[in-house]
Amino acid sequence: MRNVTKDNITDVFMGYMSPDMSPRMREVLGALVRHMHDFARETKLTHEEWRAGIAFLEGCAAIESEDRHEFVLASDVLGLSSLIDMLHSSDDATSSSVLGPFHVSGAPPLEIGGDMKRHYGGPVLLAEGVVRDPEGNPIPNATIDIWQTAPNGLYASQDTEQDTYSFHGLQTVGDDGRYAFTTVKPVEYTVPSDGPVGDILRACGRHPWRPSHLHYIVEADGFRPLVTEIFSEDDPYLDQDTVFGVRSDLVMTYEKRPAAEFPSGMALSGQISEPYLHVTFDVTLARKT
């Protein structure tokens, strides 16, 4: 095409696509380019602004590593990660929420009633519940990949003082679908703001805070995997989550209970001498279609 103009360049791009490319690739890439071209035309994007956008991407790539996923973080704070979650959530299942950039694969086994708090200070939290199908029946042998920050607000992958799998555990439920573990009450924390994503937040006049939460990935044969989070209703950032991860059915009450009520059959049974926190969070998985 010799006569490419600002008005026909999108159609020219679409015409350059091979008829042999996959239909889904044509749909997704074509839509991306159409919106990108329309954005540039609508805003009359300048060369300086275009270069700033390129510099942002290059800045993300420069600090991207196995432990620092700046592109994922950018997707999170721009709301894209949460939007994709919501587009593909099932109406008959627990709401999904963002995976975040700090998940570490290969978490060690955590027995029912096991403890992730270990030597760390802070209030003991007993979290338990049942993994169910849409009809309310327990799902046996489901697995729950659990992770959270330490009391200093850092994930293990961010903190050289922590073990690789600090505050990570993989629990397999029994025939009754029940899971249970102890940990330290999660704390609110800031997402990394010392890179390009931080520049975006500051340019928007936004803070980098996330409300305190537990992360779960719940999986079972015949059911769709669920990535979700548990939030405490008293958290000051519950209505201002910088990555848009909060859903109403994921907000729980952490009830304070006396030490005498701590149940038996837990790793910390007989060792609790102060009031502890308790939360019950049942998980519903959607069937695969």
Per-residue pLDDT tens over the stretch 201-217:
999 999 999 999 999 99
pLDDT for the residue 101: 82
Query: Is 266:180 a contact under the CB 8 Å cutoff?
Result: yes
- What is residue 57's predicted lDDT score, i.e. its pLDDT? 98
Model confidence at 226: pLDDT above 90 = yes
Residues 34-73: pLDDT tens digits?
A: 999 999 999 999 999 999 999 999 999 999 998 889 999 9
Nearby residues of 49 by Cβ (< 8 Å), 6 or more positions away: 43
Coil, helix or strand for 125? strand
**What does pLDDT average to over the chain?**
96
Distance, in Å, from the CA atom of 203 to the CA atom of 199, rounded to the nearest integer, reads 6
Model confidence pLDDT, tens digit, residues 169-187: 999 999 999 999 999 999 9
| Per-residue pLDDT, 234 | 94
pLDDT at 251 over 90: yes
Amino acid at 22: S
124/131 Cα distance (integer angstroms): 23
**9-16 and 23-43 helices, crossing angle to 10°:** 160
Q: What is the reported pLDDT for 67?
A: 80
Q: DSSP letters of 2-30? A: ----TTTHHHHHHHHS-TTS-HHHHHHHH
CA 282-287-289 angle, to 5 degrees, is 160
Q: What is the pLDDT of residue 1?
A: 73
SS3 249: helix
pLDDT at residue 289 in the model: 84
**Tens digits of residue pLDDT in 96-134:** 999 988 899 999 999 999 999 999 999 999 999 999 999
Q: Are 216 and 284 in contact (CB under 8 A)?
A: no
Judged against a pLDDT cut of 90, whether residue 14 lies above it is answered with yes
